[in-house]
């Protein structure tokens, strides 16, 4: 039975690794400027974790195969080097591995999250609420009108609580349910929630950020490929959570300008 168990462990380990090695299931193609460094970090971690996984399972299986004895006899033996060798090995190999992952991973994180948006980044505001995203463009004046929570009224489609009567900045604000952006243009996304915790996840864009009620959170990114991509909520927000999504449309600059004009006319 021990030998069968050892073989089972090895078969399971190899079978588990094959879909990873063959890329049977993989992340969708990246469409952002910052994405490749995240993907590289993922690949490096996969290689290191994969080797550790296979090595540990194989050694476990081999020792079970070798040392399970129905009728044991003779003296027990110690693994050469004993615990000291293993502890030193763990500190050196795993220590160097995690240090490398930590340092390079920190650099990747810093590139994405700790660098400010460029001066020419296009601001877009996104508001999350049960169970929809709404996006706001500041219009020609470049200013977002102030938000008044007491004015939020879905029945009149005043999703952001804008004072359209008295606030001059509100006159040209454009509110949409779709997130359209020009390709190769840096976007500065200003995020807030009107009710509960939500999240903004676009796999292809390698962007994932929670909305925190009571806090304004911002992101910046540049999409590099024209197309339509799903934006999904990943923070459990109630019964319609599974259905809270919107679409990101990455367009050419010309198409985006036309789209924005159409949206402005429809306000």
Partner 1 sequence: MHDMSAPAVHHHAPPTSFIRKHVFSLDHKVIGKQYYDMALVAAIIGMILSWIMRIHLAWTNAAIPGLQLLSKTGAPGGVLTPEYYLQLMTMHGTIMVFFVLTTAPFAAFGNFFLPIQVGAEDMPFPHFNMMSFWVTFTGFIVLLASFFVSDGPTLGGWTQYAPLNAVGAIAGPGQGMGVILWMASIALFCVGQLLGSLNFIPTTLDLRTKGMSLMRLPLTTWAWFITSCMGLTAFAVLMPACILAILDHVAGTSFFVPSNLVISDQLQQHSGGSTLLWQHLFWFFGHPEVYIAIIPGIGIVSHILITNMRRPLLSHRVIIYSMGALAVLSYMVYGHHMFVSGMNPYSALAFSFPTLIITIPATIIVLIQIFSLYGSKLRINSASLFALGFISMFVSGGVSGFFLAQPSIDIMLHATYFVVGHFHMVMAVAAMFGIFAGTYFWAPKMFGRMMNETLGKIHFWLSFVGAYCIFMPFHYLGIVGNVRRYSVFVDDYLQPLLPVHKFITVAALLTGAAQAIFLYNLIHTRFWGKPASDNPWEGTSLEWSTTTPPPFDNWGGKLPVVYHDPYQYGVESSVGDYVMQASPEQVKTENDEQ
How far apart are the C-alpha atoms of 181 and 246, rounded to whole Å? 13
Q: Which of 7, 14, 21, 86 binds partner 1 (CB under 8 A)?
A: 86
CB of 54 to partner 1, least distance (A): 10
150 sits near partner 1 (criterion: CB under 8 A) = yes
How far apart are the C-alpha atoms of 195 and 212, rounded to whole Å? 9
CB of 177 to partner 1, least distance (A): 16
Q: How many CB atoms lie within 10 A of CB 170?
A: 19
117 sits near partner 1 (criterion: CB under 8 A) = no
- Per CB under 8 A, the segment of 14-22, 137-145, 162-170, 172-180 that binds partner 1 is 14-22
177 sits near partner 1 (criterion: CB under 8 A) = no
Question: Are 31 and 205 contacting, i.e. CB atoms less than 8 angstroms apart?
Answer: yes
CB of 140 to partner 1, least distance (A): 28
- Judged by CB under 8 A, the number of residues near partner 1 is 104
266 sits near partner 1 (criterion: CB under 8 A) = no
Question: Are 122 and 185 contacting, i.e. CB atoms less than 8 angstroms apart?
Answer: yes
Question: Are 208 and 199 contacting, i.e. CB atoms less than 8 angstroms apart?
Answer: yes
Question: Are 238 and 262 contacting, i.e. CB atoms less than 8 angstroms apart?
Answer: no
Interface characters, 119-138, with partner 1 (x: CB under 8 A): ----------xx--------
């Amino acid at each position: 039975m021990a030998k069968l168990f050892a073989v089972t462990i090895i078969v399971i380990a190899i079978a588990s690794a094959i879909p990873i090695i063959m890329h049977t299931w993989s992340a969708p193609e990246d469409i952002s400027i910052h994405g490749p460094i995240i993907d590289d970090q993922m690949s490096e971690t996969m290689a290191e974790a994969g080797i550790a996984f296979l090595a540990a399972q194989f050694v476990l299986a081999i020792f079970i195969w070798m040392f399970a004895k129905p009728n044991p006899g003779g003296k027990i033996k110690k693994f050469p080097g004993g615990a000291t060798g293993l502890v030193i090995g763990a500190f050196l190999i795993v220590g160097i591995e995690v240090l490398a992952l930590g340092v390079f991973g920190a650099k990747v994180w810093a590139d994405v999250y700790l660098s400010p948006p460029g001066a020419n980044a296009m601001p877009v505001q996104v508001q999350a609420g049960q169970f929809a995203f709404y996006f706001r463009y500041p219009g020609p004046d470049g200013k977002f009108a102030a938000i008044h929570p007491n004015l939020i009224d879905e029945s009149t489609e005043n999703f952001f609580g804008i004072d359209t009567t008295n606030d001059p900045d509100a006159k040209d604000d454009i509110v949409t349910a779709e997130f359209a952006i020009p390709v190769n243009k840096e976007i500065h996304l200003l995020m807030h929630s009107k009710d509960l915790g939500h999240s903004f996840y676009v796999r292809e864009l390698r962007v994932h950020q929670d909305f925190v009620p009571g806090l304004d959170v911002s992101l910046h990114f540049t999409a590099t490929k024209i197309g339509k991509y799903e934006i999904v909520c990943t923070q459990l927000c109630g019964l319609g959570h599974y259905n809270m999504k919107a679409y990101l449309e990455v367009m050419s600059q010309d198409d985006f300008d036309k789209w924005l004009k159409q949206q402005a006319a429809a306000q």
